[in-house]
Amino acid sequence: MPNRLRSAIPYVLLILLTTPILVGYLWLFISSMSARTYGLRPEGLTLENWRFLVEPIRSRPSIWQVLLSTLAFAIPLGLLDVTISSMAGYALSRLRFPGRRMFLSFTIVLHAFPSATLLIAIFFVLRAIKLYDSILGVVLVSVSLGLPLGIWLMKGFYDNVSWDIEMAALIDGCSRLRTWWSVVLPIIRPGLAALLIFSFLGGWGAYIIPYTFLVTATIQPISVFLQSLTGDYTFVNYGVVTAVGLFQLLPVLLFYLFTQRYLLNLYSGGMKGGA
């Protein structure tokens, strides 16, 4: 059956490519449940590694405090990013104003700009406006760094909304603002949802920015917390590290499972942008 063989080739390739990733996940899971591992072979099944759920690890804040800080960072980040991007994207897609083209090119350039090179400059700015070591500070920094992509994506979604619909709304009796709010925004809702999720997940996993600008342990998000477990001068307990890692990973996996339909929109609908 050469036909069946041929249709099997993509599957074989995909399986080969994903096996290392799956093995990684598997090890993470096994390791978090055992005292030690030899490759994938666990030794001494235990829940001891998960003790951090009920009792803080040494002098560190409780995991629930960390979770709260992470949400306090990721949720405003997602909301702000979507709010600003959806407004700026509309303006760039629909309105004519001086500097529009330049703004668009800047958006692309800034998106490609490696944000790590800005860390020191941002540090001085945050210290000057007294937002160093505050969640608000890292939210603002992360939103700014996320905006170029968000604006560009939103612009792409707006570009796909027909002018006719907008004109119809104006004639039916809407103001421009009302048209945007009651007619155009609902149409690009899949794009808004996708950007919200994308941006939230970015905040959930963010490391460099919070690590650099948050020093108080109680307001650090989970990625920094995880790093602190390996960065100790004491012996690194990889069982605990994997357990915390899994704890951070599980919500993301679940999230992807239920929202991938929206996220796919980002890659299908959103990229038809252009100046």
Chain positions contacting other proteins, by CB under 8 A: 162, 164-165, 167-175, 178, 183, 186-187, 189
Q: How far is the CB of 157 from other proteins (least distance, A)?
A: 14
Give the 3-state secondary structure of residue 37.
strand
User: In this complex, which beta carbon is closest to other proteins, that of residue 165 or of residue 254?
Assistant: 165
Pairing status of strand 34-38 against strand 41-45: antiparallel
Q: How far is the CB of 212 from other proteins (least distance, A)?
A: 42
Q: How far is the CB of 200 from other proteins (least distance, A)?
A: 23
- What residues pair up with 42 in beta bridges, in sequence order? 37
User: In this complex, which beta carbon is closest to other proteins, that of residue 163 or of residue 233?
Assistant: 163
Q: How far is CA 8 from CA 1, 3, 5, 17, 18, in A?
A: 11, 9, 5, 14, 16
User: In this complex, which beta carbon is closest to other proteins, that of residue 137 or of residue 190?
Assistant: 190
User: In this complex, which beta carbon is closest to other proteins, that of residue 42 or of residue 190?
Assistant: 190
Q: How far is the CB of 170 from other proteins (least distance, A)?
A: 4
Q: How far is 167 from 40, CA to CA, in rounded Å?
A: 62
Q: How far is 63 from 45, CA to CA, in rounded Å?
A: 23
Q: How far is 52 from 63, CA to CA, in rounded Å?
A: 7
